[in-house]
Chain A
């Protein structure tokens, strides 16, 4: 699934993101045993849990994708596009998901960039994330 695909890409780019001064965390809603499994498998950044959706609420991304968004061409395309990475063993399992999002905060927890998905697996690319951080870095 696209969320684990992005997680795998963040893992692959962890060092280059760190060189930009960026740390990474992932925040899932539940499934502590799955997060622990991924952590034990060497994911180098914290995999945290937000079972009550406090962070989702705070960010305002607690709404679920609508049926229209779920059935969109983009949702279908994103689902299919990750199959190749699954076959490479870079994505472990499939699952359904709520509205995806990625936010970038600065050291005062001020949001400097966000991407709120409007389709299944609608995450930004690693390039978009790195570009967003690079644009924020002061010379």
Chain B
């Protein structure tokens, strides 16, 4: 799959919180949402 481009819509995926509960990307949007993609937190 190619890198999506500016103007493309990102699917509102379900992701896990550290405590195991689930949330969606869309739940955290105000006007804009900055997403940092990283592999590990430590």
Question: Which of A27, A38, A92, A93 contacts B37, CB < 8 Å?
Answer: A27
CB within 8 Å of B: which A75-134 residues = 92-93, 95-98, 100-114, 116, 123, 129, 133
- Contact A105 B32, beta carbon cutoff 8 Å: yes
- Report how far A6 CA is from B25 CA in the complex, Å: 20
Give the tally of cross-chain contacts (CB within 8 A).
Answer: 196
Are A7's CB and B32's CB within 8 A? no
* Complex contact B30–A58 (CB within 8 A): no
Question: Which of chain A's residues has its CB closest to B20's CB?
Answer: A32
Q: Are B40 and A27 in contact (CB under 8 A)?
A: no
Shortest CB distance B41–A (Å):
4
Q: Which residues of A contact B6 (CB under 8 A)?
A: 111-114
Interface majority SS on A: helix, strand, loop or mixed? mixed
Are the CB atoms of B32 and A23 closer together than 8 Å? yes
A59, B41: Cβ atoms closer than 8 Å: no
A117 to B15 Cα, complex, angstroms: 22
Tell me if A24 is interfacial: C-beta within 8 Å of chain B. yes
A71 within 8 A of B: no
Say whether A54 faces chain B, with CB atoms less than 8 Å apart: yes
Q: Which residue of chain B has the shortest Cβ distance to A29 in the bound complex? A: B39
Residues of chain B within 8 A of A7, CB atoms compared: 36, 38, 41
Residue from B7, B12, B16 with most neighbouring chain A CB atoms (10 Å): B16
> A residues bordering B, Cβ < 8 Å?
3-4, 6-7, 10, 17-18, 20-39, 45-51, 54-62, 92-93, 95-98, 100-114, 116, 123, 129, 133, 136-137
Interface residue ranges, B against A (CB under 8 Å): 1-13, 15-20, 23, 25-26, 28-42
